[in-house]
């Protein structure tokens, strides 16, 4: 059902929203096939830490609505590759806006041919045009958190990324994040 006008607060420490809709938790074991280094991923299953959480407001994913969510990616690396989200293409051609809230991150975009990288810090606005797959990466050593706002009828296609990759992978380097050509695990 549609929702009334509302104020949505969020907790600086947890990234939780109030009022709140569903909260999604992704642990290492939920991320099979994400990282290039499969042996490092298997070793990380031992502690099976949370990699990221996505809190949502109660705004429904319906045409005309503008759902919001707050993603928190915990710091860490797997085989030198920074913690990241699964990444997806919107099922319908819909844009999206990200706003950096805390920590240091990046937005990796891929249209099937060209990879793009947008650095995200608190206050950064990252724009995702329609037809661009997107993945978020924590390139710092504290939690990276951002607000996402997207049309309610966007839909989330994870299969597209599984099939096409994301153009680049983001590794820790001595001079900061290093973008390397994408390889399938």
Footprint on this chain of ligand F6R (rule: CB under 6 A): 54, 69, 71, 85-88, 96, 134, 136, 148, 150, 154, 156
Instruction: Output Rg (C-alpha) for the chain, integer angstroms.
Output: 16
Closer to Zn ion at the Cβ: 44 or 107?
A: 107
Shortest Cβ 95–Zn ion spacing (Å): 9
Stretch that binds Zn ion, among 52-60, 77-85, 91-99, 175-183 (CB under 5 A): 91-99
Closer to ligand F6R at the Cβ: 88 or 169?
A: 88
Shortest Cβ 175–ligand F6R spacing (Å): 27
Phi, psi of 87 (to 5 degrees): 90, 145
Are the C-beta atoms of 105 and 120 separated by less than 8 Å? yes
Are the C-beta atoms of 182 and 168 separated by less than 8 Å? yes
Q: CB-side exposure of 180: number of CA atoms within 13 Å?
A: 13
Shortest Cβ 144–Zn ion spacing (Å): 16
Alpha helices in the chain (DSSP H): 38-44, 159-164
> Binding residues for Zn ion, per CB under 5 A?
96
């Amino acid at each position: 059902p549609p929702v009334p006008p509302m104020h949505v607060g969020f907790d600086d420490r947890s990234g939780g929203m109030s009022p709140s809709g569903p909260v999604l938790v992704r642990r290492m074991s939920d991320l099979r096939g994400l990282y290039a280094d499969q042996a490092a991923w298997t070793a990380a299953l031992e502690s099976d830490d949370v990699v990221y959480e996505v809190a949502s407001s109660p705004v429904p994913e319906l045409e005309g609505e503008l759902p919001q969510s707050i993603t928190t990616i915990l710091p860490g690396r797997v085989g030198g590759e920074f913690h990241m989200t699964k990444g997806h293409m919107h099922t319908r051609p819909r844009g999206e806006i990200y706003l950096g809230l805390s920590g240091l991150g990046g937005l990796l975009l891929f249209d099937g041919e060209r990879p793009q990288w947008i650095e995200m810090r608190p206050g950064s606005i990252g724009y995702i045009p329609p037809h661009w797959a997107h993945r978020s990466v924590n390139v710092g050593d504290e939690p990276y958190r951002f607000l996402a706002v997207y049309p309610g009828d966007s839909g989330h296609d994870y299969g597209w990324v599984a099939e096409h990759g994301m153009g680049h992978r983001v590794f820790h380097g001595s001079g900061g994040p290093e973008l390397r050509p994408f390889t399938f695990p």
